[in-house]
Amino acid sequence: MRSNSPGLVTSDDHEDCLVIRDLAVAYGRKVVLKGVQADIRRGQVVGIIGPNGGGKSTLLKAILGLAPVTAGSIYLFGKHASQLRSRMAYVPQRELVDWDFPVTAYDVAMMGRYPHIGWLRRPTNHDRSVVEHMMERVEIIDQRAAQIGQLSGGQQQRVFIARALAQEADVLLLDEPMNGIDAGTQDIIMQVIEEQRVAGKIVLLATHDLVSASCACDCLCCVNERMVSYGPVTETYTVDNLAATYGGPLIMLGKSAEIEPAHTHHTGDHGHHHHTHEGVGGERN
């Protein structure tokens, strides 16, 4: 096993940071994520990468205060993150949304304004103009009256991006935003992430798309049930580190480097039949 390479971005001014210290998350007795350390400054985009079930979504949920944190702490701008929830905007995985629900694209985008509207009030003209502006930004305004399920995958994702933008939050958490969407939408999402960076927001991007993560992000947080590494892309987007994160055969399309795990044993022509036989026997056992 490789040793951790925390690669923390040191910052004296935590007033400007999302700070995660020794974070551990467990559902019942099962620890799903531990040892997360990160200092994320305003204007930084952090990619959270790792295998399925490695804890990418869990980390986002822990930051939002929606996962059972058993150890460690999360501070945003010098306060407990749970106190500043409304300053974090979240884009869920597409698979978790009920697309048959009777809401229009506009209704969904307007949900981003709910923390601003407050109880017992109605949306103001300002709320409406923010929603329209953000829907224009992601080029979905023409579909404002469409029921959410009538849209294509990319259009649906843009509606959720518009909702997150309409919240005018300081932290944007995106869970697999590139899944099942068209190239045009991917471009828009990448542009939006860049704009958020320039605007001094913090962006967290959980993704299994290593190429887009390496392009869009300043830092990578590699997780596989624990934090394997955290640091600038130049240090973490390496063959060794990714192999340590994924712990198996890995093909990096961007650099066309193929990584063989240390334990694979090559049997060659001679061993082929033997291997098959073993596999069948294994299934039966």
Residues near other proteins (CB under 8 A): 28, 61, 64-66, 85-86, 88, 90, 92, 95-104, 107-108, 111, 114-115, 117, 119-120, 147, 149-156, 163, 182, 184
Residue 86 is given by DSSP the state G
C-alpha 140/C-alpha 1 separation (Å) is: 47
Cβ of residue 46: shortest distance to other proteins, in angstroms?
A: 18
Cβ of residue 96: shortest distance to other proteins, in angstroms?
A: 7
Asked whether 16 and 42 are in contact (CB, 8 A), the reply is: yes
Q: Is 12 or 95 the residue whose CB approaches other proteins more closely?
A: 95
Q: Is 148 or 243 the residue whose CB approaches other proteins more closely?
A: 148
Asked whether 112 and 87 are in contact (CB, 8 A), the reply is: no
C-alpha 268/C-alpha 197 separation (Å) is: 50
Asked whether 98 and 69 are in contact (CB, 8 A), the reply is: no
Containing 223, the helix (H) or strand (E) segment is: strand 219-223
Let me know if 111 is exposed, middle or buried by CB neighbors in 10 A (0-12, 13-18, 19+). Answer: middle
Cβ of residue 98: shortest distance to other proteins, in angstroms?
A: 7
Q: Is 187 or 240 the residue whose CB approaches other proteins more closely?
A: 187
Q: Is 30 or 265 the residue whose CB approaches other proteins more closely?
A: 30
Asked whether 174 and 188 are in contact (CB, 8 A), the reply is: no
Asked whether 141 and 132 are in contact (CB, 8 A), the reply is: yes
Q: Is 46 or 148 the residue whose CB approaches other proteins more closely?
A: 148
Cβ of residue 233: shortest distance to other proteins, in angstroms?
A: 27
Cβ of residue 58: shortest distance to other proteins, in angstroms?
A: 12
